[in-house]
Amino acid sequence: MAQGIAWPALHGGATAMTLALAWQLERSQWWTPDELRRHQQRQLALVARHAATTVALYEERWAGLDPTDPAQWHRLPLVSRADVIAAGPRLLSRRYPADHGRIDEVRTSRTSGEPVRVRTTEVVHAMWKALTLRDHAWHRRDLDAHLAAIRYAGPEVARPPDGARSQGWGPATAALAPEAPMSLLSVDSTTDEQVDWLARVDPVYLIVYPSVLGAIARRVAERGVRLPSLRQVRTISEALSADTRALCREALGVPLVDTYSAEEVGYLAMQCPERETYHVPAERVLVEVLDDAGAPCGPGEVGRVVVTDLHNFASPLVRYDIGDYAEVGAPCPCGRGLPVLNRIVGRRRNMLVYPDGRTAWPLFTVACREAAPYVECQLVQDTAGAVRLRVVPHADRPIDEDDRAALAAALRASLHHPFDVAIEVVDRLARSPAGKLEEFVSYARTGITNSCDSSSP
């Protein structure tokens, strides 16, 4: 901010660029789908040409193909997470534009295995900040209000019972509301510690993983705890279930806003301010949802999510198969021309496999919750004919034989098959290094080693 100017705000440098981008995004969201596609194709051609001529991975894979020709786009091979990991320096551009600013490395958090590493630039970071500001505007957040977060904070950081306090929500709002109160608690804490902490800090907004939110909402209802200042909950990082969204409304009495993102590409879809569906930020990424034959899915169809980063010229990600599945939505009644996703289904390993080879996305949490009381659960499928429900009981209410029978019956009914069901009582459920929990994991046909199947975090 210019010296001696307090109001109206007068910013320069990186802040001015972010605000200029936010101003453009405020207008482009109302363009028609055709207008958005035309502008997106212009940017897509630039990043694809750059990748084809300066990145070894694409020079090898795209031999004989023109990535700037829309008619040849579907012929470009998909790039998997394994491809990105194996490529290493062959994914790094030899001649990225110097005016895109400093390069940083981003690495994903993985449930198991080696993380994905990519390089990003200041241009990418500026786009992330501008989209964050649009999300805040969509959901009418008060940037000066108290924000609390329960998430991965690193080893021995923001430990219970007190967590950590700071000022400012983060880089996107640092210049606009530098003194906004921020409270952080490590996700490596018990549900009761989290509820006690929330009651003490009494935030206006809360950011949390869906699985953690579900446990908090149930415990708040059981204990009769009130969070009088809370206006909105934001969920990140995990697939959000309808069960958790309903629990938030019932137990906390506030709306839930979900975000779909990935560390290596940023925002992929953000919840509409008027509905519970998601808008893809077409100004930032091209998101394709493809069926098993590689054809685009239509409204109501579920397919794999394939992403192209439109602005990363350091480590271009073009037709990147991120490993997730989503359901395509129809144009949104809100009037925004941005593409729509109805729901984010989850990862390939979150797909149930039946003995006859059929697959489906399992819906079981509501039925299990009605069958017996528990803190949280995880369903694991080791073979096509058998599943295990791993259950964390309440400290004062163990899981008895009647509960086991009721849970097994609920699972068979909700999964529509007489699976062999084992009920496994554990003290805690394992989470990823970043504190995330997958409510369902199938190893039945993937050949993945179950390296996270233990009762310790």
pLDDT at 60: 94
pLDDT at 6: 59
Copy the structure tokens of residue 382.
């080791």
pLDDT at 326: 94
Query: How far apart are the C-alpha atoms of 176 and 54, rounded to whole Å?
Result: 38
Q: Per residue in 33-69, is it b (16+ CB within 10 Å) or e — as a string?
A: eeebbeebeebbeebbebbbebbebbeebbeeebbee
* Bigger pLDDT: 310 vs 357: 310
Question: How does pLDDT run across 77-100, given as a tens digit for each residue?
Answer: 999 989 999 999 999 999 989 999
Q: What are phi and psi of 183, to 5 degrees?
A: -120, 140
Residues 198-207 have a mean pLDDT of 98
pLDDT at 449: 36
pLDDT at 170: 95
pLDDT at 435: 67
Per CATH, domain 13-130+273-348 is 3.40.50.12780: yes
Question: How does pLDDT run across 379-397, given as a tens digit for each residue?
Answer: 999 999 999 999 999 988 9
Query: How far apart are the C-alpha atoms of 161 and 4, rounded to whole Å?
Result: 41
Residue 10 pLDDT level (bands cut at 50, 70, 90): low
The answer on pLDDT for 453 being more than 60 is no
Q: What is the pTM of this model?
A: 0.82
Measured in whole angstroms, the distance separating CA 135 from the mean position of its chain's CA atoms is 14
The answer on pLDDT for 19 being more than 80 is yes
The answer on pLDDT for 1 being more than 60 is no
Q: Which residues contact 103 (CB under 8 A, 6 or more apart)?
A: 96, 119, 120, 121, 314
Amino acid at the residue 82: A
pLDDT at 346: 77
The answer on pLDDT for 34 being more than 90 is yes
The answer on pLDDT for 14 being more than 50 is yes
pLDDT at 348: 67
pLDDT at 112: 45
Residues 20-31 have a mean pLDDT of 96
pLDDT at 116: 87
Cβ count near 329 (within 10 Å): 21
> Per CATH, the architecture of 351-442 is what?
2-Layer Sandwich (3.30)
Residue 33's alpha-carbon distances to 39, 223, 255, 279, 456, in angstroms, are: 10, 48, 28, 12, 48
Residue 218 pLDDT level (bands cut at 50, 70, 90): confident
First-to-last C-alpha distance (Å) of the chain: 45
Q: Are 324 and 346 in contact (CB under 8 A)?
A: yes
Per CATH, 13-130+273-348 and 141-260 having the same topology is answered yes
pLDDT at 154: 77
Q: Are 267 and 298 in contact (CB under 8 A)?
A: no
Residue 189 pLDDT level (bands cut at 50, 70, 90): confident
pLDDT at 254: 97
Query: How far apart are the C-alpha atoms of 451 and 433, rounded to whole Å?
Result: 12
From the list 109, 148, 117, the residue with the least C-alpha distance to 433 is: 109
For β-strands 266-271 and 256-262, DSSP reports them as antiparallel
The answer on pLDDT for 127 being more than 80 is yes
Q: Are 199 and 359 in contact (CB under 8 A)?
A: no
The average confidence (pLDDT) of the chain is 90
Domain boundary assignment for the chain: 13-130+273-348, 141-260, 351-442
The answer on pLDDT for 160 being more than 90 is yes
The answer on pLDDT for 451 being more than 60 is no
The answer on pLDDT for 412 being more than 50 is yes
Q: Which fold has domain 141-260?
A: Rossmann fold (3.40.50)
From the list 84, 142, 89, the residue with the least C-alpha distance to 110 is: 84
